[in-house]
Amino acid sequence: MKRFGEIIAYGLSCAVKSFGNLLSLVARSRSSVIPRRVVCWAYNFKQYGCNPRYLTEYLLEHHPDFEIYWVFRRGIDTSDVDPRVKVVRFRTWEYLKAMATAEFLVTNSRTEPYRIYWHKRPGQKYLMLWHGGVALKQIERDVEDKLGFSYAHKAKVDSRVADLMISGCRMHTALIRRSFWYDGEILERGIPRNDIFFHAEHHAEARRRVLEAYNIAPDSHIVLYAPTFRRNMSIEPYRIDWSRVLPALRRMYNTESVTVIVRMHPNLIGKADTSSLVAYDDVVDGTLYHDMQELLIAADMLITDYSSSMFDFTMQRRPCLLYATDVKQYDRGYYFDFRDLPFPLAESPEELISLIENFDMTNYKESLDTFFAERIGLVEDGHAAEALATWIVEHCK
């Protein structure tokens, strides 16, 4: 019976996709590509953030003649979206028209055109900005056998239609060339979402928004816990007994005012019950906060496992600790030996508490500087969105 239900569900899914693609054909037949129209989406239409958001904000400020759309699934809160942006909902006629007429389509994650009812037209440019830079865990072609046929197929199709990818360091550029099934242009000028780290004038406002969103006291120290995604959907590797760890953090900062923000990966939204992970005093759930970079700005410390957020966050030269109980079992493999990273690793709650209590900031900063300069060849300078916007202007019809 279960197998029969799965077959019915798959059939209905195919029927919906076929109907959506038929409507897409109708939309294309009744329209043409409109110069300077940009359509953006992030994390499978679930959030207003990452590289597409920071590109959007730069275009709004410096190139107001562009017409910018953002696409979201039904039910996603869009109150944070700039009012100058036109919001459309996924799988609506307005969405199909926007996708059919945009000169530039911009996202941060893999897209299979058939699944989103988009068929690239002459005159359209597709910018796949990805959602990371330097990587610790192996990705894309390097773990093709673990990703499954469906994802690998989607990734190959996505790379085949992409016109541009971006990079913030020499290591990431080499990774794209080797592992993303992509042989097109790479703009090695930085990653737009990281620009904020170089513009201190925006930091106070970003922190204020985070404090206000979670009713956190202005003098509180914030620790952001942001682990990466595991394909088995289990939440067990993410569990931390904060009743044991928070006292160590309070001793480290010499204050009782410490708040932990738990930020789960967007892939878990709507698919796993993570409420037990935040069932502690002074711990809040920041998973649905639209802009991860603002959380990184607000945080005094980051705790993660294999997420590339570690490299973004430490451009601020603030403490980052790694906590992973499944280092030896994690099936994706790594690009670095953990001993070569500047981030201390804990594989148990006891080790995490010890790292917090014995953290050496001086040695940490020296290790960071060496790592960024010698190991990855960082090129970030706070002007990535500007460079990307210049590319877009130069490629307008």
Write out the two tokens for 163.
């016109």
Q: Which of 289, 265, 294 is nearest to 277 (CA)?
A: 265
pLDDT in tens, 280-293: 999 999 998 988 99
Q: What is the pLDDT of residue 300?
A: 97
Q: Distance (Å, rounded) from C-alpha 28 to C-alpha 100?
A: 5
pLDDT band per the 50, 70, 90 thresholds, residue 180: very high
Q: What is the pLDDT of residue 10?
A: 54
Q: What is the pLDDT of residue 171?
A: 93
Are the C-beta atoms of 50 and 193 separated by less than 8 Å? Answer: yes
Spatial strand order of the sheet with 221-225 comes to 283-285, 258-262, 221-225, 301-304, 320-323, 345-346
Query: Under 8 Å CB-to-CB from 18, ≥6 apart: which residues?
Result: none
Q: What is the 3 state secondary structure string of 319-359?
A: CEEEECCCCCCCCCCECCCHHHCCCCEECCHHHHHHHHHCC
Query: Under 8 Å CB-to-CB from 267, ≥6 apart: which residues?
Result: 229
Q: Distance (Å, rounded) from C-alpha 184 to C-alpha 170?
A: 16
Beta bridge partner(s), residue 164: 127, 185
Q: Which DSSP helix (H) or strand (E) runs through 166?
A: strand 164-167
pLDDT in tens, 273-332: 888 888 999 999 999 898 899 999 999 999 999 888 999 999 999 999 999 988 877 767
Among 11-25, 296-310, 366-380, whose mean pLDDT is lowest?
11-25
Q: Distance (Å, rounded) from C-alpha 392 to C-alpha 67?
A: 13
Q: Distance (Å, rounded) from C-alpha 395 to C-alpha 87?
A: 24
Three-state secondary-structure class, residue 148: coil
Query: Under 8 Å CB-to-CB from 102, ≥6 apart: which residues?
Result: 33, 34, 37, 38, 39, 69, 124
Q: What is the pLDDT of residue 329?
A: 73
| Cα–Cα separations (whole angstroms), residue 232 to 265, 271, 384 | 13, 11, 35
The neighbour count for residue 32, using CB atoms within 10 Å, is: 11
Q: Distance (Å, rounded) from C-alpha 93 to C-alpha 97?
A: 6
Three-state secondary-structure class, residue 234: coil
Q: Distance (Å, rounded) from C-alpha 219 to C-alpha 203?
A: 15
Mean pLDDT in the chain? 92
Q: What is the pLDDT of residue 299?
A: 97
Are the C-beta atoms of 226 and 263 separated by less than 8 Å? Answer: yes
Q: The whole model's pTM is what? A: 0.86
> Average of pLDDT values for 101-110?
97
> Which domains are assigned to the chain?
26-195+382-394 (3.40.50.11820), 202-376 (3.40.50.12580)
Query: What residue spans of the chain are helical by DSSP H?
Result: 2-29, 50-62, 93-101, 144-147, 149-161, 170-179, 203-213, 242-253, 292-298, 309-313, 349-357, 361-370, 384-394
> Average of pLDDT values for 243-262?
96
Q: Which of 359, 380, 253 is nearest to 312 (CA)?
A: 380
Q: What is the pLDDT of residue 294?
A: 95
Residue identified by tokens 């088995």 is 232
pLDDT band per the 50, 70, 90 thresholds, residue 220: very high
Would you say residue 354 has pLDDT above 80? Answer: yes
Would you say residue 133 has pLDDT above 90? Answer: no
